[in-house]
């Protein structure tokens, strides 16, 4: 299981130090939440291309970076995030009109293509795109802010995706990874791993005022043993 920290609960004045601490603790994937203050109800405009570029500069190729675009115009603006240095662009299926075309554009730009879908969106909206996706992200909270409670009803969607992807792989197709985002902590991470999740976004479970990142990560790793 890969742990991808979301940095929304970090002290942004201390961001460099927080990320150093994460990398020192063994993290090699950052999940960068991009909100435009419009598509998601939370009006906070957070991480954007400038921040992503600085993170890439600080860590070079030591880390893999995805951007989770909670924005209205991903189809028009994805190139900025690629230029800033992300390895994977994840766009919301609810906000994109031609997902197949977006995947092709991302692949032509030599980055991975990811699709994310909301708790209210059916898995049937996702299945037709699987054969072009490097990753599918299941939202286990309504997107918009960190620190919300996990929605266990996503289990069925994940199990459906797991079997569809296993079938796709057995037929020689693309090895689409399953990622989960929202409310993942030490107490539920082993459960989602058993459902078939391979990458877990962890925000407030990793970056909080109760313990250090390395202590939180150690607890998560213990839960996964
Ligand atoms: C929610 C974001 C998440 C969030 C995760 O809109 O996409 O990445 O920050 O934070 P936690 O783990 O605290 O739910
Ligand atoms: Zn996210």
| Domains of the chain (ranges, CATH numbers) | 2-224 (3.20.20.70)
pLDDT range class, residue 55, cuts 50, 70, 90 = very high
Q: Whose CA is nearest to atom 4 of ligand 1?
A: 146
Ligand 1 binding pocket mutation candidate from 27, 203, 204, 206 (most atoms within 8 A of CB): 203
Angle (CA) 217 222 225, round 5°: 130
Looking at every residue in the chain, the average pLDDT score rounds to 96
The DSSP bridge partners found for residue 31 are 6, 66
Per-residue pLDDT, 48: 93
Residue 84 has pLDDT above 90, yes or no: yes
- The predicted model scores a pTM of 0.97
**pLDDT value at residue 39:** 84
pLDDT score of 42 more than 70 = no
Of 2-6, 102-106, 121-125, 146-150, minimum mean pLDDT range: 146-150
Give Cβ neighbours of residue 134 (< 8 Å, ≥ 6 apart): 88, 112, 113, 114, 174, 176, 177
Pocket perturbation via mutation, ligand 1, pick of 114, 146, 186 by most ligand atoms within 8 A of CB = 146
Ion ligand 2 — residues with CB under 5 Å? 33, 68, 181
Q: Is pLDDT of 146 > 90?
A: no
């Amino acid at each position: 299981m890969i742990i991808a920290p979301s940095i929304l609960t970090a002290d942004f004045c201390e961001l460099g130090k927080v990320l150093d601490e994460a990398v020192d603790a063994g993290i090699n994937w950052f999940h960068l939440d991009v909100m435009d203050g419009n598509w998601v109800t939370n009006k906070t405009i957070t991480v954007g291309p400038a921040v992503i570029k600085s993170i890439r500069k600080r860590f070079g190729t030591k880390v893999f970076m995805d951007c989770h675009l909670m924005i209205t115009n991903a189809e028009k603006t994805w190139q900025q995030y690629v230029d800033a240095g992300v390895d994977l662009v994840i766009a919301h299926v609810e906000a994109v009109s031609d997902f197949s075309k977006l995947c092709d554009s991302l692949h032509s730009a030599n980055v991975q293509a990811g699709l994310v879908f909301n708790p209210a969106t059916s898995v049937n909206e996702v299945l037709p795109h699987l054969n072009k996706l490097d990753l599918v992200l299941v939202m286990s909270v309504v997107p918009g802010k960190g620190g919300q409670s996990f929605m266990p009803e996503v289990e069925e969607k994940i199990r459906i995706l797991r079997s569809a992807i296993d079938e796709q792989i057995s037929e020689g197709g693309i090895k689409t990874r399953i990622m989960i985002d929202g409310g993942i902590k030490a107490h539920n991470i082993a459960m989602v791993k058993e459902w078939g999740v391979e990458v877990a976004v962890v925000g407030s479970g990793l970056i909080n005022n109760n313990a250090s990142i390395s202590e939180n990560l150690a607890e998560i790793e213990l839960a996964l043993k």
